[in-house]
């Protein structure tokens, strides 16, 4: 894996800051990547950009999800540490969502777990067309989204849809994600489309753009901090259960190229209608 000092790259072009994550082969994000994301955000902010894009340096990849290996390694100290790990991740994504500039996530590949939680903390999500998956599959591993995902997804698509997606650990294709409102756009080249959107936003009066963002989120998220405390506590308690360690161990025991299929387990279509009549 890439050395932690090189996990995030920041490039500013035409007043647009592009933050790219680079951790092949799977682009998992761990503790080092989370720490380096804070550095990358600081570097981008110091350039006073008109807009930001979060993406991957690797074609056909985004942040697949948080490193399950890192979560498992922390299970031994989970009672001692409590929910502090979740709080770090929540605060980092709050820093991102609190930026006055518009922030666009260019989802160039699989975007699950923390990867999608990061995307939810952005203002716009552009998914790349292809055989990719988007969503929050944590429950399948015995845990729950713990970096704001449960709260932001419910605010984005409504309580009922968020429950369906999170409790059933559903991950969606880009087109399915677009149909259900999880992303704003699907494009053949997500980064190119994100750059086009960023240039459009950068051409608008910056104070008006910032105040529009403040007004929309400020009215919606009055109780967001309290909601994050609820999520943090629930995430911590889920990790305490032996089933979480068992499920995550099963996942990390798989070859890298078999892991997404484990997450993307879909129940076969039933041949029986709910009222008992056969199709």
Chain segment 37-66, per-residue pLDDT in tens: 999 999 999 999 999 999 999 888 899 998
Question: What's the pLDDT score for residue 221?
Answer: 59
Per-residue pLDDT of 165-211, as tens digits, reads 999 999 999 999 999 999 999 999 999 999 999 999 999 988 888 98
- Kindly report the three-state secondary structure assignment for every residue of 54-101: EEECCCCCCCCCECHHHHHHHHHHHHHHCCHHHHHHHHHHHHHHCCCC
Give the separation between CA 244 and CA 154, rounded to whole angstroms.
Answer: 23
Please tell me which residue, 103 or 246, carries the higher pLDDT value. Answer: 103
Could you read off the pLDDT of 137-175 as tens digits, one per residue? 999 999 999 899 999 999 999 999 999 999 999 999 999
Res 186: pLDDT: 98
- In words, the CATH class of domain 4-263 is alpha beta
Residues annotated as part of the active site: 117, 138
Q: What is the pLDDT of residues 5-24, one digit of tens each?
A: 589 999 999 899 999 999 99
First to last CA, the chain: 50
pLDDT-derived band at 92, boundaries 50, 70, 90: very high
134-143 pLDDT per residue, tens: 999 999 999 9
- Residue 39, pLDDT score: 94
Cα 226 to chain centroid, rounded: 20
Report pLDDT for 42: 95
Token pair, residue 87, equals 């709080």
3-class state of residue 272 by DSSP: strand
Q: Of the candidates 150, 117, 116, which has an alpha carbon nearest to the alpha carbon of residue 231?
A: 150
């Amino acid at each position: 894996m890439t050395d932690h000092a090189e996990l995030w790259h920041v490039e500013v072009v035409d007043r647009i800051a592009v933050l790219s994550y680079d951790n092949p082969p799977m682009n998992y994000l761990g503790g080092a990547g989370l720490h380096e994301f804070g550095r990358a955000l600081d570097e981008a902010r110091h350039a006073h950009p008109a807009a930001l894009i979060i993406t991957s340096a690797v074609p056909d990849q985004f942040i697949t999800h948080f490193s399950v290996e890192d979560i498992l390694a922390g299970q031994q100290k989970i009672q001692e540490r409590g929910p502090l790990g979740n709080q770090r991740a929540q605060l980092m994504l709050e820093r991102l969502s609190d930026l006055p500039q518009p922030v666009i996530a260019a989802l160039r590949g699989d975007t699950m777990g923390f990867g999608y939680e990061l995307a939810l903390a952005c203002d716009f999500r552009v998914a790349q067309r292809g055989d990719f998956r988007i969503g929050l599959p944590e429950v399948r591993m015995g845990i729950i989204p713990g970096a704001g995902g449960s709260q932001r997804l419910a605010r984005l698509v409504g309580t009922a849809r968020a429950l369906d997606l999170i409790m059933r650990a559903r991950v969606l294709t880009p087109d399915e994600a677009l149909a259900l409102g999880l992303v704003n756009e699907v494009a053949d080249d997500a980064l190119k489309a994100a750059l086009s959107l960023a240039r459009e936003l950068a051409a608008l009066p910056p104070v008006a753009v910032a105040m529009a963002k403040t007004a929309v989120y400020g009215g919606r998220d009055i109780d967001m901090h309290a909601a994050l405390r609820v999520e943090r506590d629930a995430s911590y308690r889920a990790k305490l259960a032996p089933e979480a360690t068992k499920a995550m161990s099963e996942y990390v025991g798989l070859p890298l190229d078999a892991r997404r299929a484990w997450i993307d387990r879909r129940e076969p279509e039933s041949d029986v209608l709910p009222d008992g009549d056969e199709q």
